Chains A and B, each alone.
Chain A
Amino acid sequence: MDLAIDANELVKTYPPDVRALDELSLSVQAGTIFGLLGPNGAGKSTTVRILTTLSQPDSGSARVAGIDFLADPVGARRAIGVVGQKHGSDPEATGRENLVLQGEFHGIAGAQLRERVADSLERLGLADAADRQAKTYSGGMQRRLDVAMGLLHRPQVLFLDEPTTGLDPEARAAMWQEIERLAGEEQMTILLTTHYLEEADRLASQLAIVDRGRIVVEGSPAQLKSDLHGDTIQIELADAQDATARAALDRVSDLTDVTLDGRTLRGHTRDGGAAIPAVLAALDAHGVKVAAVTLARPSLDDVYLQHAGRTFHRADTAHEEVTA
Chain B
Amino acid sequence: MTPLRQTWQVSLRGIRTLMRQPAYLGITLAQPIIWLLLFGALFKAIARIPGFHGGSYINFLTPGIVVMLAISSAGWTGMGFIDDINRGVMDRMLVSPVWRGALNAGSVIYATITIVIQTTVIVLLAWALGADYKGGIGGVLILVLLAGLLGAAFASLSNGLAVLARQRETLIGAVTAVILPLTFLSSALMQQSLEPSWIRTVAKFNPVNWAVEAGRSAAMQTINWGLIGSRFGLLAALAALCAVFATRAFASYQRSL
Which of A78, A86, A89, A109: most chain B CB closer than 10 A? A86
Select which of A77, A80, A92, A104 is within 8 A of B20 by beta carbon: A92
A-B contact count (CB 8 A): 77
**A293 on interface, CB distance cutoff 8 Å:** no
Residues of A within 8 A of B10 (CB): 101
B window 90-104: CB within 8 A of A: 91-98
Select which of A56, A80, A90 is within 8 A of B13 by beta carbon: A90
Interface contact B97-A93, CB-CB below 8 Å = no
Residues of A within 8 A of B88 (CB): 84-88
Residues of B within 8 A of A93 (CB): 13, 16-17
Interface contact A86-B87, CB-CB below 8 Å = yes
Residues of A within 8 A of B20 (CB): 92, 133
Interface contact A107-B97, CB-CB below 8 Å = yes
A window 96-114: CB within 8 A of B: 97, 100-102, 104-107, 109
Interface contact B89-A89, CB-CB below 8 Å = yes
**A53 on interface, CB distance cutoff 8 Å:** yes
Q: A100-B9, A105-B96, A105-B97 are in contact. Are A54 and B87 (CB under 8 A)?
A: no
**A204 on interface, CB distance cutoff 8 Å:** no
Select which of B5, B91, B254, B255 is within 8 A of A88 by beta carbon: B91
Binary interface encoding of chain B residues 12-25 relative to chain A, with 1 for a CB under 8 A from any of its CBs, else 0? 01001100100000
Interface contact A78-B13, CB-CB below 8 Å = no
Q: A49-B257, A86-B88, A87-B88 are in contact. Are A104 and B5 (CB under 8 A)?
A: yes
Interface contact A149-B6, CB-CB below 8 Å = no
Residues of B within 8 A of A133 (CB): 20
Binary interface encoding of chain A residues 39-56 relative to chain B, with 1 for a CB under 8 A from any of its CBs, else 0? 000000000010011111
Select which of A52, A56, A105 is within 8 A of B6 by beta carbon: A105
**A91 on interface, CB distance cutoff 8 Å:** yes
Residues of B within 8 A of A88 (CB): 87-89, 91-93
Interface residues in A, total, Cβ within 8 A? 32
Residues of A within 8 A of B5 (CB): 104, 109
Residues of A within 8 A of B93 (CB): 88, 105
**A208 on interface, CB distance cutoff 8 Å:** no
**B193 on interface, CB distance cutoff 8 Å:** no
B98 to chain A minimum Cβ distance, whole angstroms, is 4
Residues of B within 8 A of A149 (CB): 92
A window 71-89: CB within 8 A of B: 74, 77-78, 80, 82, 84-89
A318 to chain B minimum Cβ distance, whole angstroms, is 24
Q: Give the interface SS of chain A, mostly helix, strand, loop or mixed.
A: loop
Interface contact B96-A77, CB-CB below 8 Å = yes
B window 209-257: CB within 8 A of A: 254-255, 257
B143 to chain A minimum Cβ distance, whole angstroms, is 32
Binary interface encoding of chain A residues 131-166 relative to chain B, with 1 for a CB under 8 A from any of its CBs, else 0? 001000000000000000100000000000000000
Interface contact B94-A104, CB-CB below 8 Å = no
A14 to chain B minimum Cβ distance, whole angstroms, is 9
Q: A97-B16, A101-B13, A104-B5 are in contact. Are A56 and B87 (CB under 8 A)?
A: no
Instruction: Name the CB-closest residue of B to A159.
Output: B95
Which of B16, B89, B93: most chain A CB closer than 10 A? B89
Interface contact A101-B257, CB-CB below 8 Å = no
What is the CA–CA distance of A78 and B98 in the complex, to the nearest angstrom? Answer: 10
Residues of A within 8 A of B254 (CB): 54-56
Binary interface encoding of chain A residues 184-216 relative to chain B, with 1 for a CB under 8 A from any of its CBs, else 0? 000000000000000000000000000000000
Chain A to chain B: the 6 pairs with minimum beta-carbon distance, closest first: A86-B88, A88-B92, A55-B257, A105-B98, A105-B96, A77-B97
Q: Which residues of B contact A (CB under 8 A)?
A: 2, 5-6, 9-10, 13, 16-17, 20, 84, 87-89, 91-98, 254-255, 257
Q: Can you list 25 residue pairs at the A/B interface with Cβ under 8 Å?
A: A54-B94, A54-B95, A54-B257, A55-B257, A74-B97, A77-B97, A82-B92, A84-B95, A86-B87, A86-B91, A87-B87, A87-B88, A88-B92, A92-B17, A93-B16, A93-B17, A100-B9, A104-B9, A104-B98, A105-B93, A105-B97, A105-B98, A106-B96, A106-B98, A149-B92
